[in-house]
Copies of this chain bind each other. A is one copy, B any other.
Amino acid sequence: MARTSESPTGTGTGTGASARFSAMADRVSSSAIRDLLALTEQPEVISLAGGKPAPETFPVDDIRAAADAVLARDGGAALQYSATEGYRPLREWVAATEAPGGVEEVTITAGSQQGLDLAARVLVDPGDVVVSADPGYIGAIQAFQLAGAEQMGMPSDRDGLRVDVLADRLAGGLRPRVVYVVADLSNPTGATLPEERRYELARLADRYGFWLLEDDPYRSLRWAGTAPPPLAGRCERVVRLGTMSKVLCPGLRVAYLVAPPEVSEAVVRVKQGADLHTATLSQRIVHELVSRPDFVTSRLATLPGLYRARAEALAGALRDHLGQAIGFVEPDGGMFLWARLPGVDTAALLAAALRAGVAFVPGAAFSITEPHPEHLRFSFATVSPVELDEGVRRLASVL
């Protein structure tokens, strides 16, 4: 790549539109969802395209009281620089349920997106192969792009990643550095990986020496079916990401990464250069809330109900207005419904849908290897049942 710094001119060059950036910056493309969301935020559009949790579920008054209590009690310490690995009482709270090996395995991250970035920076060299179920989560695709990974999609079905296909590819010589898995209520498909596939995946990780990067943001939003135990604990080569974004709210940017101590140590070294530490006040607010008896339990007891009502409203509207024209599996939880319109190019459909006042995300946006041209993702998380019905009616009108 020809760049100014590598092609000395000895004459004025300025910057202008000809400025070039690092190979990393060139690699990462802006998210298709993000570009799309800019178009779908007009008030007249019913957006089933978003990826945000329902803000009316955020415990605003509890957070307000917690912020006040933390600042009144801790004063300047709640606003000072703090440890890169995170606020120790919060790490201990995470360790109690997530890290049998102890607090040294836990790093507090600025959201799970930073967990993905740190894990990718620690584990992946440019050119290393990273395998994900295809379709996959766009934020993970971006983090692996930044690390220069060679990304490879594996087929998935209604039970998630086809571990049998992965096993065949491994037997054929594939040597991934990382296999990325959203085992519970995956984005975009909503699939949950069954016990047999989890068992086999852990066995393969041990056998072939790759890392499992287990991203688990949606576990707390389940209303049907059951989740087998996580991948973490099944083999030593697991980096597990959990988050407070769905159980509390995403705007505090508090999540956690759990990994063997030597991986956690490398993660902390990279995080020190990346942002020194996660916001002190955010961490202390979260700890203040989660350490209240029954706070998390009572939220987990009530939270999925609202999402369930919306998912059922969406599924009902799809059946009512589109009938046999659309195929989908009703989600067991999470925020998304993945559907297929046989014979329809969903990327082309989007423009017409926007004119009719409804938005969704075309399957192509989640592509790793396969294009998913007939698929689309609906988010029901922030839309009322009445609007879900109206949105689907509008979509049906342009089909």
Measured CB to CB, the residues of A under 8 A from B are: 1, 3-6, 8-17, 19, 21-25, 28-31, 34, 51-53, 55-56, 58, 60, 63-64, 67-68, 71-72, 75-82, 84, 110-111, 113-114, 116-117, 121-125, 128-129, 139, 142-143, 145-147, 173, 175-177, 206-210, 236-237, 248-253, 260, 262-263, 266, 268-270, 272-282
Are A80 and B251 in contact, CB atoms less than 8 angstroms apart?
yes
Are A79 and B63 in contact, CB atoms less than 8 angstroms apart?
yes
Selected A-B contacts with CB under 8 Å, 11 pairs? A8-B173, A8-B175, A15-B263, A22-B122, A63-B281, A64-B72, A81-B251, A139-B273, A252-B280, A253-B279, A281-B282
Q: A79 is contacted by which of B123, B249, B279 (Cβ under 8 Å)? A: B249
Q: Which residues of B contact A262 (CB under 8 A)?
A: 15, 17, 19
Are A273 and B146 in contact, CB atoms less than 8 angstroms apart?
yes
Q: Which residues of B contact A281 (CB under 8 A)?
A: 63, 67, 251-252, 281-282
| Nearest Cβ on chain B to A253's Cβ, whole angstroms | 4
Are A12 and B207 in contact, CB atoms less than 8 angstroms apart?
yes
The verdict on A121 contacting B25 (CB below 8 Å), with A71-B67, A251-B82 known, is yes
| Nearest Cβ on chain B to A269's Cβ, whole angstroms | 5
A250's nearest neighbour on chain B, judged by CB, is B81
CA distance A68 to B122 in the complex (A): 38
Count the copies.
Answer: 2
A16's nearest neighbour on chain B, judged by CB, is B236
Q: Which residues of B contact A248 (CB under 8 A)?
A: 79
Q: A121 is contacted by which of B51, B114, B146, B210 (Cβ under 8 Å)? A: B146
CA distance A117 to B80 in the complex (A): 21
Q: Which residues of B contact A209 (CB under 8 A)?
A: 4-5, 8-9, 13
The verdict on A117 contacting B273 (CB below 8 Å), with A14-B236, A25-B266 known, is yes
Q: Which residues of B contact A75 (CB under 8 A)?
A: 55, 58, 60
Are A76 and B56 in contact, CB atoms less than 8 angstroms apart?
yes
Are A79 and B55 in contact, CB atoms less than 8 angstroms apart?
yes
Are B249 and A76 in contact, CB atoms less than 8 angstroms apart?
yes
Are B64 and A71 in contact, CB atoms less than 8 angstroms apart?
yes
| Nearest Cβ on chain B to A3's Cβ, whole angstroms | 8
Q: Which residues of B contact A17 (CB under 8 A)?
A: 262
Q: A253 is contacted by which of B142, B175, B249, B278 (Cβ under 8 Å)? A: B278
Q: Which residues of B contact A81 (CB under 8 A)?
A: 51-52, 250-251
Q: Which residues of B contact A23 (CB under 8 A)?
A: 125
3 nearest A-B pairs in the assembled complex, by CB-CB distance? A55-B76, A251-B280, A142-B273
CA distance A208 to B6 in the complex (A): 10
CA distance A81 to B113 in the complex (A): 12
CA distance A121 to B120 in the complex (A): 14
Q: A273 is contacted by which of B6, B52, B63, B143 (Cβ under 8 Å)? A: B143
Given A34-B84, A116-B273, A253-B280, output 12 extra A-B contacts at Cβ < 8 Å: A1-B125, A8-B208, A10-B208, A14-B206, A22-B123, A28-B269, A58-B76, A58-B80, A79-B251, A117-B273, A139-B272, A253-B279
Are A79 and B58 in contact, CB atoms less than 8 angstroms apart?
yes
The verdict on A270 contacting B25 (CB below 8 Å), with A19-B262, A72-B64 known, is yes
Q: Which residues of B contact A55 (CB under 8 A)?
A: 75-77, 79-80
CA distance A316 to B122 in the complex (A): 46
Q: Which residues of B contact A67 (CB under 8 A)?
A: 64, 67-68, 71, 281
Are B121 and A24 in contact, CB atoms less than 8 angstroms apart?
yes
The verdict on A80 contacting B19 (CB below 8 Å), with A5-B209, A142-B272, A282-B282 known, is no
